[in-house]
Amino acid sequence: MSGAPRATVLTAVYNGAPWLAQSLDSVLTQEFTDFELVVVDDASSDESPAILAAVADPRLRVLRNPRNLGLTASLNRGLELARGDVILRHDADDLSLPGRFARQMALLDARPEVGVCGGFATMVDGQGRPLDIYRVPADHGPIAWAVGFGHAFAHPAVAVRTGLLRAASGYDPHWPVAQDQELWTRLVWTTRMVNIPEPLVAYRQHAGMASRARGAEQRDGDLRARGQFLERLLGREVPPELLRWNSVPPLPGAPGRPAGADARELAGFARVVLEALGAVRRRFCATRAEAGAVGRLAGRKLHALSAGAAGAGASLLAARLLARAVTLDPSLLAPAELARAGRAALRAVGARSARSGGRP
């Protein structure tokens, strides 16, 4: 391949022998071919080095770490070597689906304002059997919302302009996990972001994957990154006891109550959600459609918090949050649920009145 390639596929591997050959093949057989494949071997002790050595494709460049440095440092070492104008992330235990690179490169060519382009992921088990579809928001406004309240991208499906990533100094070395979540909290302010609403990768779920092996640390990192974004968005500190409510899944009817939390904390976090709704719409939404999509996401978050308030015995708060949730996302409307919430709220008001001797 003469001259610099248009893109660099960036992969790090540590003891990934069971899936590495198939993963590399999914990259090297892509329809779009003008790329180099930079693989950082993070001091693997299995057959990964031999598998890499057996690949004859001249597009492959291998860098072996002298000792195990972890994913963040390995990605940054690969970024230093990259010659392409676009970084196509790829994980050594996943598959890039046919046409992935062509779709992302075409979108970046057509939309110069976009600096980060991701997509959905097909979740598969260790044997490659499909489990589910991992969906992420498509447009910049909802993606910005997800940076604060969920997951904005499937990291192994992302394409990032190399200059943008280098200007941000790459991945933060202080984040050994959740390094992608932290990265989005910085890049979302500097470029437009999109996700192609179809699966671009097969995302393998197995016991050795980092998000499972270091699950608690990963969850804590995700929450910390979301808090970092929300504090910048709102221009003030958000107390940690409120931010832990951000772990409640933003799904209709999702249960969940952080250990030791109370209704007052939940109400405080609900105010953060509503304040962030206005801020995201003003700062990140370019169209009414984006603003509407962000509103629906906020509605789902409030719906989940309503379930948490009900679990905490705060019936009146649960009813108020539910009413606001269905205002933002009418698809959440469930007449039976609203009726139950209304009856619970009336009981709460009656109990409060009885305790105060009928005084308002």
**pLDDT given at position 261:** 55
Q: What's the pLDDT tens digit per position in 122-168?
A: 999 877 788 899 999 999 999 999 999 999 999 999 999 999 999 99
184 and 50 in a single domain? The answer is: yes
Is residue 226, in this structure, part of any structural domain at all?
no
**pLDDT given at position 131:** 87
Between residues 4 and 260, which one has the greater pLDDT? Answer: 4
81 and 203 in a single domain? The answer is: yes
242 and 216 in a single domain? The answer is: no
Is residue 47, in this structure, part of any structural domain at all?
yes
> Residue 319 belongs to what domain range?
238-355
**pLDDT given at position 145:** 98
154 and 262 in a single domain? The answer is: no
Given pLDDT bands bounded at 50, 70 and 90, which one contains residue 354? low
**pLDDT given at position 161:** 98
210 and 69 in a single domain? The answer is: yes
Is residue 287, in this structure, part of any structural domain at all?
yes
Q: What's the pLDDT tens digit per position in 219-249?
A: 899 999 999 999 999 999 999 888 888 875 5
Residue 2 has pLDDT above 60, yes or no: no
205 and 253 in a single domain? The answer is: no
Domain at 105, CATH number: 3.90.550.10
Q: What's the pLDDT tens digit per position in 99-111?
A: 999 999 999 999 9
Is residue 2, in this structure, part of any structural domain at all?
no
Residue 195 and residue 120 in contact, taking contact as beta carbons nearer than 8 Å: yes
CA 253 to chain CA centroid, nearest Å: 21
Question: Percent of the chain beyond pLDDT 90?
Answer: 72
Taking the chain, what is the end-to-end CA distance rounded to the nearest angstrom? Answer: 79
CA atoms within 13 A on the CB side of 142: 22
73 and 155 in a single domain? The answer is: yes
167 and 216 in a single domain? The answer is: yes
Q: What's the pLDDT tens digit per position in 281-335?
A: 999 999 999 999 999 999 999 998 888 888 778 888 989 999 999 999 998 876 5
50 and 154 in a single domain? The answer is: yes
Residue 339 has pLDDT above 70, yes or no: no
Residue 1 has pLDDT above 50, yes or no: no
Question: What average pLDDT does the segment 260-267 reach?
Answer: 79
The phi, psi pair for 63, rounded to 5°, reads -120, 125
Is residue 233, in this structure, part of any structural domain at all?
no
Between residues 345 and 340, which one has the greater pLDDT? Answer: 340
Count other Cβ atoms within 10 Å, centred on residue 246.
21
Question: What average pLDDT does the segment 29-36 reach?
Answer: 98
Using a 10 angstrom Cβ sphere, with 0-12 exposed, 13-18 middle and 19 or more buried, the burial of residue 288 is exposed
115 and 216 in a single domain? The answer is: yes
**pLDDT given at position 125:** 85
**pLDDT given at position 81:** 96
Per DSSP, what are the bridge partners of residue 36? 8
Is residue 313, in this structure, part of any structural domain at all?
yes
Question: What average pLDDT does the segment 10-39 reach?
Answer: 97
Question: What average pLDDT does the segment 70-91 reach?
Answer: 97
Q: Report the domain count for the chain.
A: 2
> What is the pTM for the complete model shown?
0.88
To the nearest 10 degrees (0 to 180), the angle between helices 179-187 and 215-234 is: 10
Is residue 279, in this structure, part of any structural domain at all?
yes
**pLDDT given at position 3:** 85
Question: What average pLDDT does the segment 176-197 reach?
Answer: 97
CA distances, 178 to each of 169, 185, 196, 227, 232 (Å): 16, 11, 22, 13, 18
Residue 18 has pLDDT above 80, yes or no: yes
DSSP string across 1-45? --S--SEEEEEEESS-HHHHHHHHHHHHT-S---EEEEEEE----
Is residue 210, in this structure, part of any structural domain at all?
yes
**pLDDT given at position 103:** 98
Given pLDDT bands bounded at 50, 70 and 90, which one contains residue 98? very high
Residue 337 has pLDDT above 60, yes or no: no
**pLDDT given at position 335:** 54
Residue where a domain stops, chosen among 153, 185, 220? 220
195 and 254 in a single domain? The answer is: no
Q: What's the pLDDT tens digit per position in 194-208?
A: 999 999 999 988 666
Residue where a domain stops, chosen among 220, 251, 286? 220
| Distance from C-alpha of 271 to C-alpha of 278, rounded to nearest angstrom | 11
Residue 352 has pLDDT above 80, yes or no: no
Residues in contact with 280: Cβ distance below 8 Å, sequence separation at least 6, in sequence order: 141, 144, 145, 148, 233, 294
| Distance from C-alpha of 323 to C-alpha of 302, rounded to nearest angstrom | 9
37 and 103 in a single domain? The answer is: yes
SS3 assignment, position 269: helix
Residue where a domain stops, chosen among 188, 220, 252? 220
